[in-house]
């Protein structure tokens, strides 16, 4: 099961790094794109999906498997918390971030961008928390 804990930790820490980069640099720089936002956003969404899609799936699958088949050294609360943090990240992505990106793909919208940056803090916290928890689970369970 060490491989499962390692895969979860790698995916979670990777996503924490990606989301911090988005929060601090990438999303705020959207303000500079202006009228080119629709074309930029179309390319950005495709390329970003390649970067985040696979690790998000790995993280989700690992967190779900750990709830069902966790190593004895991992407390149940940790496995459930890990899955909850992943589900928060996915829910905010689907319910808040994707719609904001869709609005920005239609046209530059300062309010949509501000909402994207503001609500992205939820994903930043969830992925950071899961990254730390996953590293702890790897240390305890290895």
Q: Parse the chain into domains and list their residue ranges.
A: 2-141
Q: How remote is the C-alpha of 29 from its chain's centroid?
A: 19
| Residue 23 contacts residue 126 (beta carbons within 8 Å) | no
Instruction: Report how far residue 66's alpha carbon sits from residue 15's, in angstroms, rounded to the nearest whole number.
Output: 18
| Chain segment 5-56, per-residue pLDDT in tens | 999 999 999 999 999 999 999 999 999 998 899 999 999 999 999 999 999 9
């Amino acid at each position: 099961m060490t491989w499962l804990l390692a895969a979860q930790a790698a995916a979670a820490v990777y996503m924490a790094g990606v989301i911090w980069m988005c929060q601090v640099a990438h999303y705020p720089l959207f303000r500079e794109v202006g009228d080119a936002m629709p074309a930029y956003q179309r390319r950005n969404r495709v390329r970003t999906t390649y970067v985040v899609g696979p690790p998000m799936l790995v993280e989700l699958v690992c967190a779900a498997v750990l709830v069902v088949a966790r190593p004895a050294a991992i407390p149940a609360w940790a496995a459930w918390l890990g899955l909850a943090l992943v589900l928060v990240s996915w829910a905010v992505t689907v319910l808040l971030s994707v719609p904001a990106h869709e609005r920005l793909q239609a046209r530059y919208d300062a309010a949509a961008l501000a909402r994207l940056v503001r609500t992205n803090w939820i994903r930043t916290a969830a992925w950071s928390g899961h990254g730390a928890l996953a590293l702890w689970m790897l240390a305890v369970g290895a």
